Amino acid sequence: MPEKKFQNSLPVVPTGRHKELSLNKDNELFVFRYNKGSEENVLDAFIDMANTHENNFDWFDAAVLSFQLSKNLVEEADKLLCDESKAFREDLAESQDNIPWKIP
């Protein structure tokens, strides 16, 4: 089985509301630009490209980029949840500062 000449997968680079995911393989650069919320369409594009033999993009490439896309979505969700959780904890701490505590 020939060894894959796979250089790297770059992370999603947000540009305002748009995102970018790219793959540098052999002498080709595959760049996928998309809007937030259209990740399902990007996954469909990976499938379409892997199914065609008109390019050097195969199922391994689709899997690597799908993983990167999923990883970035999880990181974004964690960031949102952590920010909300932090804000909740800060609000809770402020509200408890105004409560007269009875220490026996």
In a domain? residue 76: no
Residue environment code for 42-63, b if the CB has 16+ CB neighbours within 10 A, otherwise e: beebbeebbeeeeeebeeebbe
The answer to whether position 82 is within a domain reads no
Q: Tell me if 25 is assigned to some domain.
A: yes
Over 80: is that where the pLDDT of 88 sits?
no
Residue 20 located in a structural domain: yes
Residue 81 falls inside a structural domain? no
69: number of Cβ within 10 Å: 20
Measured in degrees and rounded to the nearest 5, phi and psi for residue 58 equal -120, -175
Domain assignment of residue 87, yes or no = no
Give the residue numbers spanning the domain of 42. 6-71
Higher pLDDT, residue 14 or 68: 68
Residue-wise pLDDT tens digits, 42-85: 999 999 999 988 889 999 999 999 999 999 888 888 887 876 66
Q: How many domains does the chain have?
A: 1
Cβ atoms of 83 and 76 closer than 8 Å: no
